Amino acid sequence: MPIIVNLDVMMAKRKMSLNELSEKVDLTLSNLSILKTGKAKAIRFSTLNAICKVLNCQPGDILEFMPDSENNEQ
């Protein structure tokens, strides 16, 4: 998938655990873990907003577009 989730990188930069972020964002650990591992199919803007507020970052710090080789050939 060409969208890379760098949530773990931002959490490490802020020295924040998954448990702590889960409590502050009011998301279950399992949902946050799915997002962190890049297995999520979608994210709500309200969730992204809450994560960015807690981590004091921009959406682009968490989400990155990485074109795959198929897209480069077109």
Q: What is the DSSP string of 38-68?
A: T--S---HHHHHHHHHHHT--HHHHEEE---
Give me the domain span that covers residue 17: 3-65
Instruction: Tell me the C-alpha distance between 23 and 20, whole Å.
Output: 5
> pLDDT, tens digit, for every residue of 10-67?
999 999 999 999 999 999 999 999 999 999 999 999 999 999 999 999 999 999 999 8
CATH (domain of 9): 1.10.260.40
Answer yes or no: is 72 within a domain: no
Answer yes or no: is 70 within a domain: no
Answer yes or no: is 74 within a domain: no
Q: Tell me the three state secondary structure of residue 3.
A: strand
Instruction: Tell me the C-alpha distance between 10 and 24, whole Å.
Output: 15
